[in-house]
Structure formats: structure tokens, C-alpha cells
Structure 1
């Protein structure tokens, strides 16, 4: 029996869980570039060792405190929103959760980059990699949507932008990422 190939640009389910997708060179390049930019936006994480080369203390990391103020960049504020309306509660919650959330988002973007770098005619993702891709695609769409000032109301004007509009490439990427995300969700919840 011949193995079913993923349709170009759409995820399909694979046996044992996970998903597969066929991307051309241009799609791979765009997606990789966006994932790298996402990692740059989120910022560097802690390395595997301290500056002096000593191993990090896992117990100290557990109690490490992060920022207490929301990010000033609107895209980062969208990725790391306040969990509470009360400023004091929001600051306290952010202090103990944002570092982990940033690390997870970096890991998700890195999973996309590694899968793309592995190459091949078809990318095959494990269930865990599929979850990471879903997180990264969501983060990319949130970021692009924030940059494009997409609101919850229908933004029909974005769909009718002339080719000369400088936002057009971002809109096309935003819509394409939405299609990828939707097809990946469908593989995870058939």
C-alpha cells in the first residue's frame, strides 16, 4: 500500500499521532525566517550553564523571579498578557510565570526551525512536535495580527489591500499561517 503524501501546504494526520506536511523551498524559507524572528522578539533564554561555565541550580531556577511589568512592545504584550486585572496580582503572577512561558515559546519556535532544517520532501511531526508547531503558529499569528492591528471585528480591508500596500506581505503571511494552523488543528482533533 502506498503511503499517502501530505497535500502541499496542508497538514495531514499520520498513523501513531502527529502530522505531516509538504512545504516548498519558499514556504520553508518564510516559515523558518518567521520562527527565527519570533525567537529574537521573545529574547534570549538562559543557557545551559552560568557565565562562568558552572551548571545551573534547578532549585534556584524554580524560584527565579521574572519581570513584574508587562512588555512595552504591543506584540510581546499580546504574547504575554496580564493574567489579572488588578495590577498587584498581575505583577505577582507575571513575576513567577513569564520566564517559563517565554522558555516554552522559544522551545516551540526552535522546534519549527529544527524540523524545517531537517528538510526532506515531507516533514513528519510527532504528537509533541505537532503541539509545539501549533503553539509557534499561534504565536506567529498573534504577533503578525498585532503588527497589522487586526481586531476581533472582521477586517475586510486587509483582504482587499492593493499589491502596492507595504502591509500586503504581512497580511499574506498572516492568512497563510492561519491556514497552516487550521489544518494542523484538524489533524490533532479529527
Structure 2
């Protein structure tokens, strides 16, 4: 079935994509790279002075963009309640020393997908992934789905309602992408457990 992962054995997976699916997925991942931002030193691939990168400190405040806040949540405090001063300080300290690494990992996950899709030469085809690449793709798909979920304001209570949106609803293309990414993610998990 086009568009879903199948087990390739040995912890790997294979994905058959048509040209449109590959183009949509690549476009979404490029947008994810833009959202995450460049690496240390302003370079998109994160390469630069390795010593400076080792001692670089990240931000101490949560991002203002709700999608970025979902991708880089506070490590302390209850998300359902306003944070007290102690939780804010602890979250800020944790974020300062971990967010750059988390951003780099998310950037590498997205780049893994883009590079694999670029390997198709702008056409559809089979993407063969080894076990390590499967984990990168799983992370990248999860990040895309979380971001689209925030943009669409999806909650657990109304996710079923997404299937019933009329074709005239302007959110329909994003909802279709959100649901497809969920199916991709689920099929990759199943392929990894086969």
C-alpha cells in the first residue's frame, strides 16, 4: 500500500511513496527545519566551532510560539497550572543546558527525512530505512504531528471530529496531512515490532 511503512526485517522498514506524497512530506519537513531554526553559529546543519558548541548555552525561557513550546516543553511544573517561581527557575536552568541539543536532534531527524526523499530524485519510489534511520523518521514524524496538532488546536476529545470536517473547511488539507502522518507513524511502529 502506497504511503505506509512495511517491515524490511532486521529492524528496518520500507516506505512506498508516490510523487505527491514524497513532495508533501518533504515540504512539511523543510517547514519543520525552518520552525526549529538554524544550528549554533547560524548554520542550518549545526556545524561550526565544535568547542564553542560544546559550551553554548540555550535559552532559559520557553518559546512564545505554541508549536515550539510543544516541541520544547518545560521540564518542571504542571502544564495544567501556572508555574510557580521555583518551577520556572528549575525549568529555565534545565532548558538552558538541554534545548540546543534537543533542537539539534530534531533538526537531524528532519534532515534525515529530507535527504532520503531527495534520494528519490523528485519522484516517488521506495525509501529503505535501516534501524537507526527508522528511529530518526519516527522522531521527525512525531514532531510534524505535534506541530500540526498545535496549529489545528487538536485535543483528545475532538480528534474524531477531524474525520468529519467538510471539504469546504480551510483546515481540511492540514487535517488530512495530520491524519496521514498519524497513519505513517503507526505503520512505522508496527514495522519496527514485526
Fold shared by both chains (TM-score > 0.5) = yes
Structure scoring higher RCO (CA < 8 A, sep ≥ 6) equals 2
| Unaligned runs of at least 5 residues, structure 1 | 1-6, 50-55
* 2:14 equivalent in structure 1: 20
- 1:25-71 CA distances to partner (integer Å, 9 max, x unpaired)? 0000000000000000000113323xxxxxx143x422311000000
1:82 to 59, 74, 78: 74
Q: Quick check: 1:40 aligned with 2:34?
A: yes
CA distance in 1, matches of 2:76, 2:107: 24
CA distance in 2, matches of 1:41, 1:177: 18
- 1:97-129 CA distances to partner (integer Å, 9 max, x unpaired)? 000000000000000000001116211001111
1:31 to 11, 15, 25: 25
How far did 1:141 drift? 0.2
Question: Which structure features the higher share of strand residues?
Answer: 2
Write out the 4+ residue segments of structure 1 that deviate beyond 4 Å after TM superposition. Answer: none
Aligned residues: 177
Is the partner of 2:102 in helix, strand or coil? helix
| Unaligned runs of at least 5 residues, structure 2 | 78-86
Q: TM-score, normalised by structure 1?
A: 0.89
Q: Quick check: 1:131 aligned with 2:135?
A: yes
CA distance in 1, matches of 2:7, 2:162: 31
Is the partner of 2:167 in helix, strand or coil? coil
RMSD: 1.2
Q: Quick check: 1:110 aligned with 2:111?
A: yes
How far did 1:162 drift? 1.0
